[in-house]
Amino acid sequence: MPFNIQKIRNDFPILSRKVNGYPLVYLDNAATSQKPQQVIDSIVDYYSNYNANIHRGVHTLSQEATDAYEGARQKIQTHFNAKEAYEIIFTAGTTHGINLVANGFSEILKKGDEIIVSAMEHHSNIVPWQMLCEKTGAILKVIPMNKEGVLIFSEYEKLLSEKTKLVFVNHISNALGTINPIAEIIEKARQVGAAVLVDGAQSCSHVKPDLQKLDVDFYVTSAHKMCGPTGVGILYMKEEWGNKLPPYQGGGEMIAEVTFEKTTYAGLPHKFEAGTPNICGVIAFGAAIDYLNAIGFEEIEKYENELLKYATQKLLEIEGLKIYGTGPEKTSVVSFNIEGIHPYDIGTIVDKLGIAVRTGHHCAQPIMDFYKIPGTVRASFAFYNTLEEVDALVNAVKKAKMMLS
């Protein structure tokens, strides 16, 4: 479809509401995106017309639900260009996917092995690996970043060795908006035989990763960042790893045969999908994928870059305002502070004017420690935001500064 911002905004019911008497300006998209009517309708349709449990049911409703559920898996396989549909494992979200992989590697790593994480990770891509190191005796190493919020690639190369077993890095930083050079990171890891996990929670609403081209081992993301529902996400896992790693949970669906003497496990993807899944969420995730592709990711990326450029320019006109994350490769996130003012106070005032931003460390406390700040104000833009909303943000921040100075 042609990129028509007003038509797109009309698809999102929540954008027409008011907050504190002002039109809602929603700029917290890095935390979660809003949902178009098409996705909402898919949820209502499932519960209204064919709600049933999936797989093995012979009745009509079960077959319809199974077809819709597995159809969504195939849509997601195509979207991300996974080689096989069974390499797409449905999870409760990005954090769940990361923990699933960490659990599997607890059976593989041994004392003295090394794993590498970047300095700009979300806590969900730090804590599970720390727990894994405590459990196995493996050593966690960190790729440092510079003041621009860009990973120092030469230092990453120095960390790699024959002891490196796994590298994990986010595709895009949730706190800074930095786009990391994951293709190059993966290529270097391959040279020492290390596997790579990429946290795509912040990237998949902005870009369309080609998983086969990247040759990544694991890629995780969440539907709710992509105009889909909360409580569902995917773990892409190369088939060779899917056959190697043990199950994360035991229960129904993930088994081939159960006796009291021995249980054998199902093949991919069911081996890692124990229990009744979020059927409705998966179907709605498929609807969200359809919606985003109908707009087109090239159009989305182009428009969001315009928003980023305009917002950066206008905010920097405010005296005393500093932006964190100023690298050349960046997506539509602006994290900033005003000298002498706590970010929480700014966020509270702009909320009174109907503007939703996020304040704090954004579950990336090591980044804030690096800059020696308590947190930032983060404005994160989506393709349904407008230049007029950027102006509203800038005016609100100016008012907050005047009130708090």
Indicate the domain borders of the chain: 5-30+297-404, 40-293
Which CATH fold topology does 40-293 show? Aspartate Aminotransferase; domain 2 (3.40.640)
Length of the chain: 405
Q: Which of 133, 204, 227, 363 is catalytic?
A: 363
What pLDDT is stored for residue 375 in this prediction? 97
pLDDT of residue 259: 75
Return the CATH fold of 5-30+297-404. Aspartate Aminotransferase, domain 1 (3.90.1150)
The strand pairing partners of 197, in sequence order, are 168, 218
pLDDT at 310: 98
Torsion sign, CA atoms 41, 47, 53, 58? negative
CA-angle at 96, arms to 237 and 245, nearest 5° = 40
Please give the pLDDT value at position 391: 98
Q: Quick one: three-class SS letters along the chain?
A: CCCCHHHHHHCCHHHHCEECCEECEECECCCCCCCCHHHHHHHHHHHHHCCCCCCCCCCHHHHHHHHHHHHHHHHHHHHHCCCCHHHEEEECCHHHHHHHHHHHHCCCCCCCCEEEEECCCCHHHCHHHHHHHHHHCCEEEEECECCCCCECHHHHHHHCCCCEEEEEEECECCCCCEECCHHHHHHHHHHCCCEEEEECCCCCCCCCCCHHHHCCCEEEEEHHHCCCCCCCEEEEECHHHHHHCCCCCCCCCCEEEECCCCEEECCCCHHHCCCCCCHHHHHHHHHHHHHHHHHCHHHHHHHHHHHHHHHHHHHCCCCCEEEECCCCCECCEEEEEECCECHHHHHHHHHHCCEECEEECCCCHHHHHHHCCCCEEEEECCCCCCHHHHHHHHHHHHHHHHHHC
**Partners of 348 in the β-ladder:** none
Each residue's pLDDT, cut to its tens digit, for the chain (405 residues) gives 568 999 999 999 999 999 999 999 999 999 999 999 999 999 999 999 999 999 988 999 999 999 999 999 999 999 999 999 999 999 999 999 999 999 999 999 999 999 999 999 999 999 999 999 999 999 999 999 999 999 999 999 999 999 999 999 999 999 999 999 999 999 999 999 999 999 999 999 999 999 999 999 999 999 999 999 999 999 999 999 999 998 888 887 777 777 787 877 778 899 999 899 999 999 999 999 999 999 999 999 999 999 999 999 999 999 999 999 999 999 999 999 999 999 999 999 999 999 999 999 999 999 999 999 999 999 999 999 999 999 999 999 999 999 998
Q: Are strands 195-199 and 164-170 parallel, antiparallel or unpaired?
A: parallel
Identify the pLDDT of residue 2: 63
In this prediction, residue 262 carries a pLDDT of 80
Q: Is residue 363 annotated as a catalytic residue, yes or no? A: yes
The pLDDT of residue 225: 98
Query: Who contacts 82 (Cβ-Cβ below 8 Å, separation ≥6)?
Result: 76, 88, 211, 212, 236
Model pLDDT, residue 205: 97
